[in-house]
């Protein structure tokens, strides 16, 4: 039987937030694009109040920025911000893969990890970077739910996490598809074997390469 929280329907504000974030993830909203509140009101059949509140929530998350003329647009992250986020996630993501490895002995967990890896591998064929990072995000979510670490789950679900991935998908995998996919295959292989320390080491090494690549890109600007 579902509890009261599970029965509760999303609020109008939550619907607007989910709509905006899904469109960013899908590439329908891109960095720098203006948001027209009236369009959202008409599409979602909502009044101005929840749309404006949702926009202000996402301003606080760093996803949207308000301009002097009171218009709103999808905020563009600088290369420095991408590096800062990558450095934080190198640590948190490393902990995430290590913790999940401790639960591979429980029934069904290995199947969940293998299933989450599949779209990462398949994305190399389509060369769709947005799909790749959406799949990586989903893998992290699956791992955090397996370990039961609610703090990491909350981080993965936060809007600025998806916003970061949407930005970085314009840079990676680029010409390095095999390297990215191979890294996650090795990480998940270590997780499935219950070797959390190995998985964390591979993940951190891969993220160090990503960060170095971003820093090189800055120097070339």
- Residue ranges of domains in the chain, CATH in brackets: 4-74 (1.10.10.10), 79-219 (1.20.120.530)
Model pLDDT for residues 41-81, shown as the tens digit of each residue? 999 999 999 999 999 999 998 899 999 888 999 998 888 98
pLDDT mean across residues, the chain: 90
Distance (Å, rounded) from C-alpha 64 to C-alpha 52?
Answer: 12
pLDDT for the residue numbered 41: 95
φ/ψ bin of 64: left (φ > 0), alpha (ψ from -120 to 50), beta (otherwise): beta
- Is the pLDDT at 141 greater than 60? The verdict is yes
Pair of tokens at residue 166: 């949407």
């Amino acid at each position: 039987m579902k509890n009261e929280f599970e029965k509760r329907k999303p609020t109008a504000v939550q619907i607007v937030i989910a709509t905006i974030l899904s469109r960013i993830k899908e590439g329908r909203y891109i960095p720098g694009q203006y948001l027209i509140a009236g369009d959202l009101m008409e599409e979602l059949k909502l009044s101005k109040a929840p749309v404006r509140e949702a926009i202000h929530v996402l301003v606080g998350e760093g996803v949207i920025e308000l301009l002097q003329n009171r218009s709103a647009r999808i905020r563009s992250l600088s290369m420095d911000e991408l590096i800062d986020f990558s450095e934080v996630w190198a640590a948190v993501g490393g902990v995430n893969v290590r913790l999940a490895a401790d639960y591979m002995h429980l029934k069904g967990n290995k199947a969940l990890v293998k299933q989450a890896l599949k779209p990462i591998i398949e994305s190399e064929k389509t060369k769709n970077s947005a799909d790749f990072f959406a799949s990586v995000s989903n893998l992290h979510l699956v791992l955090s739910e397996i370990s039961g670490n609610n703090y990491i789950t909350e981080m993965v679900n936060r809007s600025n996490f998806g916003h970061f991935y949407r930005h970085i998908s314009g840079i990676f995998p680029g010409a390095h598809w095999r390297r990215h996919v191979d890294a996650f295959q090795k990480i998940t292989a270590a997780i499935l074997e219950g070797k959390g320390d190995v998985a964390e080491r591979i993940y951190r090494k891969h993220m160090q390469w990503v960060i170095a690549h971003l820093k090189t890109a800055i120097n070339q600007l």
